[in-house]
Structure 1
Amino acid sequence: MATTPELAVEQQGRDHGLVRAMGVFAFAAAITNEVVGAGIYTLPAKMASSAGTTAPYAYIACLIAMGAVVLCFSEAGSRISTSGGPYGYVEAAFGKMLGFVAGVLLWLSAVLAAGGIAVAATDMAGAAFPFLVQPVVREILIVGLLAIMAGINIVGVDLAAKVLGWATMIKVLPLILFLVVGGIALAMGHRAEAPITHIPNANFGHAVILAMFALTGMETPLAASGEVRDPARTVPRALILAMGLIGLLYVAIQLIAATLFGAGLMHSAAPLADALGTIDPRLRAPLLAGACFSMVIWLGSDFLGAPRVLFAFARDGLLPAALGKVHPRWRTPHWAILVHFLFAVALALTGTFEQLAILSTLAIAPLYFLACASAVILRSRGIATLGKPLSLPGIPVIAGFGMLCMAIMVALADWNEIGALAGVLVGSCLLYLVMRPRTPKQS
């Protein structure tokens, strides 16, 4: 393991050419934008159909688990601030092979989610405008959405951060409308005629996995940590601020939607819009528009963070050198962004939202497991590359709890899904052994 000064030189070399332009607000906005994407508008229905009246408890269970993970990410991110985010934490703690595995999981989860959310955004737009469901038009729209987000991120990280910051503020307005109008309606006694009841064959484990998908995403903006200003302070503050607010938001929305719409929530394609529609049908339109806008802007955060994993791999000699190049004018990893775009397009054109969302969630659990363990190792070795790091009391206990929760999360999946995840882990190790830079033999 390298000493702290050697590690700092290595991390700074990996980020050479990038600009540290993002502060607390911009970085918290990127995290919020990444997490508050498709899930907040679509998953309340799937949660209700999977777990019935216990759906809010699935969110709470995930929030408790994610609380431990967020604290571990906050400490590790304050100690290692580099392109690739969790990839850098795990690599510094456990070596290059596990670092590579973590990076593969991070990128795979992000690109699967990008494809799924591009599909969801297009399908929701098709629900409002039927001509968009025609195959050719639908495919053009998918490619166009992804291309716009890729283009914004290629032009410059500062522009992307500003766009995401303002867009995040705009896209939460429909959610605020939902909370305010829905809360007032509940206070005035508005209730669904047929409330949600207990489901005899409820699948609480499936609901937990879906809730996990709704709450994941912070790891993708963290991959752009090499472009964060004063990272030892900015990373933990932005993480805790964003994830704390998101947790409260999700539970409140699930409870309001279930009370307003009742049993109808379990079969709704646009649950929040339909829930407000029970108060006044005219309220559906702003929620539908907000859902589409939210998904599109979510893609912006995905393209801000995930391609930096490919960039970090290339800078470390694990992928073709072209992916590690920075655009001479815009100072962004343009080739890495283009490759991410191509994979996202391929997935979106061949998969469904639910399939891609489940696979994305399962890829994240072992990454969170490794990141929690990394926080303990980095603390024990006194590693900090830029500034005084965060030092949380009880981090070994917090990390152990987070690791246990992630192991349980994987165990809740179907056996074929667990097998696919195991294949990814083994395949990543084999790929590293093939692609790792060779040390020249001494003569």
Structure 2
Amino acid sequence: MTAPTARIAGEESARDQGLARGVGLWSFTFSILNGVVGAGIVALPASMAAAAGGYAPFAYLAVALVMAAVVVCFAEGGSRVPTSGGAYGTVEAAFGKGAGFLAGIYMWLASVLACGGIAAALCDALGALVPALAGVGPRLAILLLILGGISWINVRSAGLAAGVIAWGTVIKLVPLGLFVAVGGLALLVGHDPAPAAVAPQGGHFSEAMLLALFAFCGMETPLGASGEVADPTRTVPRATILAMLCVLVLYVAIQVVAQGLLGAALAGSAEPLADGMRQISPALGLVLLAGGILSRFVWIGSDVLGAPRVLFAFARDGMLPAWLGAAHPRFATPHIAIWVHSAIAFALAATGTFTRLAILSTLATAGLYFLACAAALVLRRRGVAILGTPLSFRILPLAAGMGMASMVVLVAIARIDEILAFVGLTFASLALYAVMRPRIARAA
């Protein structure tokens, strides 16, 4: 074992101490699938059509090629450092605690921005179902009720929150399968698309690609449980590749069916899946609308269960103020981190739209993916392999180069205000790390 490998193995084994490696291939595959197929896909077909018109499926395919390169890097990096934290662990192993901190911040930012976007979309869905709920006052009340209620459940009991999410996760996949199956059958028998009052403008393929990347994001969250995966050098990469292939097929199918059912009207739909099903049956439309609302609710619950733990862990490691690492004296949950995360998501949802928040979340994820691709190259060059023989893809240098270049391009094609916000947050995160560094050294 090389010296870098021995040092990293010691650090990572300490992180995973006490964890049982009992998660197998299929359970981990479905975990990644669930993490990627979030609530955003319920509203995304309309945003994609508004940006790229009938070319929206090609945006998914283009981003899938980029994601294939990123998945190769995640797969090899994860097989070399199969530790709790996923990308955060591989980046820290390759570049040190400062880069690891930045990767963790990117993960959290992507989560809280996505949470705000999904919460905003949930309000839009409820407004479509009950027009009286579409105003500003009802919107704020809905956000307070949903985010406050989910946060309260998480503060009271993580086990209860996880149980609710588990059942909701099974239920949320049913409407998606129903939409593809019933809608696809209707198209095969000659369904005519709905008329549109205004034709979509399209012509913003770059925005469609950013939105498509948002749809593909999420694998980094379940990969954070790599420290509990059986035979991780084989299971982690195989599960990642299988899950992402399934995601691509599902997303393209949903977009194609939505375009076939709604035609030019898709771009202006607030609830594209529900509106598409209404073309076939009003009852099925209500089922899809209810399923979309439930899917968003479940995703927010999952986010509030997991993402605040990043703030909590950073605070416990000395990387953020200590008060964020406080545990509730009665319920033994990270209550302050939960409320802080939810309060930020509330402010984002109250002031932003799904599309804009989704793109900002994508930029944070692009930063994380760039670091993860670079980390895979560095870990190979150093010969790091802390648990068995790792994967060694011949195309890794090409994949890492393609992945890093693509992330730079995807950030560059965003709006200037979005780019400035991303750059500002990056420098603010690095400045925060510099301020907290003495405390981190003492905690170590």
Q: TM-score, normalised by structure 2?
A: 0.88
Counting only pairs closer than 5 Å after superposition, residues 278-317 of structure 1 correspond to structure 2 as 278-317=279-318
Aligned partners of 1:29 and 1:168 also within 8 Å: no
Q: Is 2:176 the counterpart of 1:169? A: no
The range that moved more, 209-218 or 131-140, is 131-140
Counting only pairs closer than 5 Å after superposition, residues 81-120 of structure 1 correspond to structure 2 as 81-120=82-121
Q: Which residue of structure 1 lines up, in the alignment, with residue 65 of structure 2?
A: 64
Counting only pairs closer than 5 Å after superposition, residues 250-261 of structure 1 correspond to structure 2 as 250-261=251-262
CA distance in 2, matches of 1:192, 1:354: 25
Q: Which residue of structure 1 lines up, in the alignment, with residue 426 of structure 2?
A: 425
Give 1:427's aligned amino acid.
Answer: A
Q: Which residue of structure 2 lines up, in the alignment, with residue 188 of structure 1?
A: 189
Aligned partners of 2:53 and 2:201 also within 8 Å: no
Q: Which residue of structure 1 lines up, in the alignment, with residue 344 of structure 2?
A: 343
Q: Which residue of structure 2 lines up, in the alignment, with residue 406 of structure 1?
A: 407
Aligned partners of 1:93 and 1:374 also within 8 Å: yes
The range that moved more, 75-84 or 85-94, is 75-84
CA distance in 2, matches of 1:162, 1:26: 16
Report the CA distance shift for 1:143/1:236 in structure 2 as closer, same or farther (over 3 A). farther
Aligned partners of 1:257 and 1:275 also within 8 Å: yes
Q: Which residue of structure 2 lines up, in the alignment, with residue 434 of structure 1?
A: 435
The range that moved more, 49-58 or 339-348, is 339-348
CA distance in 1, matches of 2:242, 2:5: 28
Aligned partners of 2:51 and 2:201 also within 8 Å: no
CA distance in 1, matches of 2:398, 2:199: 35
SS at match of 1:172: helix
What is the Cα deviation at residue 231 of structure 1?
4.3
Report the CA distance shift for 1:413/1:154 in structure 2 as closer, same or farther (over 3 A). same
CA distance in 1, matches of 2:387, 2:309: 19
What is the Cα deviation at residue 353 of structure 1?
2.1
The range that moved more, 415-424 or 124-133, is 124-133
Give 1:93's aligned amino acid.
Answer: A
Report the CA distance shift for 1:432/1:263 in structure 2 as closer, same or farther (over 3 A). same
What is the Cα deviation at residue 338 of structure 1?
3.9
RMSD across aligned C-alpha pairs, in angstroms?
A: 3.2
Report the CA distance shift for 1:322/1:199 in structure 2 as closer, same or farther (over 3 A). closer
Q: Is 2:396 the counterpart of 1:395? A: yes
Counting only pairs closer than 5 Å after superposition, residues 143-162 of structure 1 correspond to structure 2 as 143-150=144-151
Q: Which residue of structure 1 lines up, in the alignment, with residue 45 of structure 2?
A: 44
Aligned partners of 1:18 and 1:331 also within 8 Å: no
CA distance in 1, matches of 2:245, 2:84: 24
SS at match of 2:203: coil
Give 1:395's aligned amino acid.
Answer: L
Partner deviation per Cα, 1:130-149 (whole Å, 9 max, x = no partner)? 34345554334323333454
Report the CA distance shift for 1:156/1:383 in structure 2 as closer, same or farther (over 3 A). farther
Report the CA distance shift for 1:386/1:370 in structure 2 as closer, same or farther (over 3 A). same
Calculate percent identity across the aligned residue pairs.
54
CA distance in 2, matches of 1:42, 1:225: 30
SS at match of 1:436: helix
The range that moved more, 201-210 or 128-137, is 128-137
CA distance in 2, matches of 1:276, 1:356: 27
What is the Cα deviation at residue 173 of structure 1?
0.7
Q: Which residue of structure 1 lines up, in the alignment, with residue 36 of structure 2?
A: 35
Q: Which runs of 5+ in 2 are unaligned?
A: none
Aligned partners of 2:124 and 2:270 also within 8 Å: no
Give 2:100's aligned amino acid.
Answer: G
Report the CA distance shift for 1:139/1:360 in structure 2 as closer, same or farther (over 3 A). same
Give 1:74's aligned amino acid.
Answer: A
What is the Cα deviation at residue 203 of structure 1?
1.0
Aligned partners of 2:199 and 2:265 also within 8 Å: no
CA distance in 2, matches of 1:295, 1:34: 13
CA distance in 2, matches of 1:107, 1:275: 34
Aligned partners of 1:196 and 1:258 also within 8 Å: no
Report the CA distance shift for 1:49/1:438 in structure 2 as closer, same or farther (over 3 A). closer
SS at match of 1:437: helix
What is the Cα deviation at residue 343 of structure 1?
2.4
Counting only pairs closer than 5 Å after superposition, residues 323-362 of structure 1 correspond to structure 2 as 323-324=324-325, 333=334, 335-362=336-363
Q: TM-score, normalised by structure 1?
A: 0.88
CA distance in 2, matches of 1:315, 1:407: 32
Report the CA distance shift for 1:325/1:438 in structure 2 as closer, same or farther (over 3 A). closer
What is the Cα deviation at residue 300 of structure 1?
3.1
CA distance in 2, matches of 1:73, 1:2: 23
Give 1:288's aligned amino acid.
Answer: L
Give 2:362's aligned amino acid.
Answer: T
CA distance in 1, matches of 2:308, 2:171: 25
Q: Which runs of 5+ in 1 are unaligned?
A: none
Q: Which residue of structure 2 lines up, in the alignment, with residue 8 of structure 1?
A: 9
Give 2:290's aligned amino acid.
Answer: A
Aligned partners of 1:84 and 1:225 also within 8 Å: yes
Report the CA distance shift for 1:225/1:436 in structure 2 as closer, same or farther (over 3 A). farther
Report the CA distance shift for 1:326/1:3 in structure 2 as closer, same or farther (over 3 A). farther
Aligned partners of 2:50 and 2:201 also within 8 Å: no
CA distance in 1, matches of 2:126, 2:262: 22
What is the Cα deviation at residue 401 of structure 1?
1.3
CA distance in 2, matches of 1:193, 1:140: 34
CA distance in 1, matches of 2:397, 2:238: 20
What is the Cα deviation at residue 97 of structure 1?
1.9
Report the CA distance shift for 1:322/1:15 in structure 2 as closer, same or farther (over 3 A). farther
Aligned partners of 1:46 and 1:266 also within 8 Å: yes
Aligned partners of 1:174 and 1:287 also within 8 Å: yes
SS at match of 2:221: helix
Report the CA distance shift for 1:309/1:439 in structure 2 as closer, same or farther (over 3 A). closer
The range that moved more, 79-88 or 405-414, is 79-88
- Number of aligned residue pairs: 441
What is the Cα deviation at residue 344 of structure 1?
2.1
Partner deviation per Cα, 1:267-293 (whole Å, 9 max, x = no partner)? 111111111211222221011011111
Give 2:7's aligned amino acid.
Answer: E
SS at match of 2:438: coil
CA distance in 2, matches of 1:339, 1:369: 27
The range that moved more, 344-353 or 115-124, is 344-353
What is the Cα deviation at residue 25 of structure 1?
4.7
Partner deviation per Cα, 1:409-428 (whole Å, 9 max, x = no partner)? 11211222212211122222
Q: Which residue of structure 1 lines up, in the alignment, with residue 216 of structure 2?
A: 215
